[in-house]
Structure 1
């Protein structure tokens, strides 16, 4: 067993508003409690760790691959143990000396017999925690009705909770339903089904009542779970303030996303297997994840009681409503958060923001067109060509297509190409450039334009330059966030023209920079 130790919490912000931080209580020796997080690269774990660090805890993580931890903004602030939670020796080593264990591992992503895998891991955690002197286990399980015949997914979550409660270590099992936040598998199903389907044939479970909870409220309960009464050993339900039918959740998402209300027909013939195949067909959620989730939706998922309020106070500004949680998941996804951006992204992330460890299918649909060209021209020459784009200077490629696009935009009530630009050779933030608005300028490095034309979605165009050993590299990226099915069809319809427009634009900008270089050399 190998591990690398890191210390310190410098550079981590203190969350504000409802992102409450519950400060750690020093142990008898005055040291901050040591917390082991299992599942630190998962959706919840990746958001919990920085909040534990901000709360003054020392944090240790157990991961099968340290490479998955390194891209995360808090990687240098935690103690990393390399090992598999299914390996009892690895768990024994990781739990040794820990005060608190957060068990956030679920094997559903791996497919196969996930229940057997989760059972084995739970037994390892129970054994290692008892042997290692752990004072508290906190486990995030699934909300389910009592006495019902549960799906494989929910039955496994309940079984894991029971194993931990019998461990001899005081355990708090928090049972949550649908977690609302970009990257949550349950939320991604709602997002993509609503975005893609203007009309949805659905199983009868769309009529079931569900009590969703915002990811920031889940984090509030998890953080507070480290400070409950020392002897508390029980299960509690957690949920948000709204109880909705699944169909109402989809249409609530549609309203917040600016989409028309979706028609939903509950059909008795759609079995869980057929429904999961349908979900797998129209959403990017992998089928091995979609099917257990679909099976779980056969049951109402509503809190049986509110005992949690006697154990853990609610957040200072109250629990987050469903529609507000959706707004957070949608409104805080900015262009800088797209994984492929070459602009440095901020590490000051809200719980609803995407993380590098989130799965590829998480987050809203994003279409991109990338172009790169190396040139012997220096970066200044390339930048000079970039900032001359638009207006009377044109767009470096396919002028007829640009003219037709501007004309079409005017016909449907848009701004068209009539606005031009303020000057021919300088741009500043907020300037209009034909159908675009300058959203950001980093002189000599990056120009970002936001589309103000009428399109079924949101669009940006980024033009950038970086020095290279032989001159410079020009980088160009078009980004489109589609709105609903019409946005996806629009992007597909424009694909044949993108090859002409964007390829020609990259080629002509580089050629213009090289012409300027050769002209200077000739003089």
Structure 2
């Protein structure tokens, strides 16, 4: 990335308040103007060359506003930590929404390049959920016209973050470590400083557009070896015994309990440790892929920096304060050739068939739908189709009324259907929904019923794929 005589380049950083984002911003602002994006900026202040913008990437409108004026954009987010009071759904499906919104916004705002910090993707018949999600996000980002550079890193060694602090916490707390077989898996750690160097050098480098690049440090070693070196750096004598019966499922629970790290973060990471995470020489670029800092030095620096900082090593991994709303995200398989708009209209026609004779769906006009009980005139839920914000691959309905929803000024509850690019899968999501009934009662009634309905819809589509492709009887009208 070069600074021209006329102006400094403008770089948008998602997750700017996070571990990688903070450190990257400190380097980039020396020669670029930064748009720092975060969900909550109440405690943030603009400074020279840094402008903070509040951005909820679950909202396409927010993403579009956030990337206004950006030349380049860095994508550093994931959804393994919940942000709503009640979250129904898998992190992989939520990552689809975040990435798709970001890629759509980047294309609309004519961003020159997206740089995505991904993970090393090993050759395997079946990847872990975490790595599958990283690869899916990468593919979604590349499905639009904005050039994408994916920097694929393994375990990043820094004073905070996720993987290395968890490892350090295990070494610190366990004088005797019973290590499962997967700790013999080879990995390719890389120092935080080397990752920051790779990201910086990728920005604006046209030869790297639409490429996936593996990065790693000078050492390739097992997790057990990393634990051994970390214990020596800490000055602690540790004993380790490898056992064959400690499964990944048991390991993730053990690591979560021992380190005090949330399950939502630990489980996906531990599930990925069965794969060798070593950079592929065929995906290397000189000056970007080849980290220079050895693991021992990186571990020493990280632990030294951590001692200077408060709160403690894993404090930043604690869940952020969550909002009082609901997010529910499910993935369904739709017939080949169908899109999100078809799925939305089909769902609205299918729903009263499932719930009859208790619930009816009434159409006031083409764009307003009311769900009401058959024995009452009052509306349970009112959905307003947003013609301006919808298209074939994304259908959006705002929750605009009804007994079951709080609809106040500033609330933006919505139901959306989004087709995943180049697949026959669709995401059905409820965002920012604020229930009207007391929270405890809501959790065990309405929330449970919604999840049951979505599971039935998913099963219905999967069971009747053949029928749906050929039958016109249930086709919703255009």
Which TM bucket (shorter chain)? 0.5 to 0.7
| 1-structure distance, mates of 2:133, 2:205 | 25
- The residue aligned with 2:227 is 250
| 1-structure distance, mates of 2:208, 2:296 | 37
Q: 1:132 to 1:114 in 2, by over 3 A?
A: same
Select which of 270, 284, 293 maps to 1:320. Answer: 293
- The residue aligned with 1:36 is 12
- The residue aligned with 1:25 is 3
Q: Is the 8 A contact 1:201 1:267 kept in 2?
A: no
Q: Is the 8 A contact 1:153 1:293 kept in 2?
A: yes
Select which of 299, 302, 309 maps to 2:278. Answer: 302
- The residue aligned with 1:104 is 76
Deviations 1:426-467 (A, max 9, x none): xxxxxxxxxxxxxxxxxxxxxxxxxxxxxxxxxxxxxxxxxx
Deviations 1:240-278 (A, max 9, x none): 11111111110110011101143132332x232211110
- The residue aligned with 2:332 is none
**Within the alignment, does 1:60 sit opposite 2:35 as a pair?**
yes
Per-residue deviation, 1:122: 0.8
User: Would you say how many aligned residue pairs link Structure 1 and Structure 2?
Assistant: 315
Deviations 1:402-424 (A, max 9, x none): xxxxxxxxxxxxxxxxxxxxxxx
Per-residue deviation, 1:93: 1.2
Deviations 1:125-151 (A, max 9, x none): 111111101001000001121233111
| 2-structure distance, mates of 1:144, 1:292 | 14
| 1-structure distance, mates of 2:276, 2:58 | 32
Classify the secondary structure of the residue corresponding to 2:74.
strand
Q: TM-score, normalised by structure 2?
A: 0.62
Classify the secondary structure of the residue corresponding to 1:200.
strand
| 1-structure distance, mates of 2:43, 2:274 | 34
- After the TM superposition, which residues 31-180 of structure 1 pair with which residues of structure 2 at under 5 Å, given as runs? 31-54=7-30, 56-70=31-45, 77-110=49-82, 112-180=89-157
User: Is 123-132 or 258-267 further displaced after alignment?
Assistant: 258-267
| 1-structure distance, mates of 2:297, 2:165 | 16
| 1-structure distance, mates of 2:289, 2:254 | 40
Deviations 1:333-357 (A, max 9, x none): 455x3349xxxxxxxxxxxxx89x9
Q: Is the 8 A contact 1:272 1:291 kept in 2?
A: no
**Within the alignment, does 1:330 sit opposite 2:303 as a pair?**
yes
- The residue aligned with 2:264 is 288
| 2-structure distance, mates of 1:277, 1:360 | 16
| 1-structure distance, mates of 2:199, 2:79 | 20
Q: 1:312 to 1:207 in 2, by over 3 A?
A: closer
| 1-structure distance, mates of 2:47, 2:251 | 39
Q: 1:339 to 1:261 in 2, by over 3 A?
A: closer
| 2-structure distance, mates of 1:49, 1:218 | 13
Q: 1:298 to 1:339 in 2, by over 3 A?
A: closer
Q: Is the 8 A contact 2:54 2:66 kept in 1?
A: no
| 2-structure distance, mates of 1:227, 1:300 | 31
Select which of 316, 326, 331 maps to 1:358. Answer: 316
| 1-structure distance, mates of 2:280, 2:237 | 34
| 1-structure distance, mates of 2:81, 2:41 | 19
Q: TM-score, normalised by structure 1?
A: 0.57
Per-residue deviation, 1:307: 3.8
- The residue aligned with 1:376 is none
Q: CA RMSD in A?
A: 2.5
Q: Is the 8 A contact 1:237 1:304 kept in 2?
A: yes
| 1-structure distance, mates of 2:128, 2:172 | 27
Classify the secondary structure of the residue corresponding to 1:205.
helix
Per-residue deviation, 1:162: 1.0
| 1-structure distance, mates of 2:160, 2:288 | 26
- The residue aligned with 1:212 is 189
Deviations 1:374-427 (A, max 9, x none): xxxxxxxxxxxxxxxxxxxxxxxxxxxxxxxxxxxxxxxxxxxxxxxxxxxxxx
| 2-structure distance, mates of 1:88, 1:209 | 39
| 2-structure distance, mates of 1:67, 1:265 | 47
Q: 1:68 to 1:240 in 2, by over 3 A?
A: farther
Q: 1:162 to 1:331 in 2, by over 3 A?
A: same
| 2-structure distance, mates of 1:313, 1:194 | 29
Per-residue deviation, 1:292: 0.6
| 1-structure distance, mates of 2:80, 2:94 | 9
Q: Is the 8 A contact 1:36 1:61 kept in 2?
A: yes
Classify the secondary structure of the residue corresponding to 1:118.
helix
Classify the secondary structure of the residue corresponding to 1:147.
coil
| 2-structure distance, mates of 1:86, 1:227 | 27
Q: 1:216 to 1:63 in 2, by over 3 A?
A: same
Query: Structure 2 stretches of 5 or more lacking a match?
Result: 320-478
Deviations 1:37-66 (A, max 9, x none): 111111111111111101x11111222211
Q: 1:76 to 1:69 in 2, by over 3 A?
A: farther
Classify the secondary structure of the residue corresponding to 1:218.
helix
Classify the secondary structure of the residue corresponding to 2:285.
helix
Q: 1:76 to 1:109 in 2, by over 3 A?
A: farther
Q: Is the 8 A contact 1:171 1:234 kept in 2?
A: yes
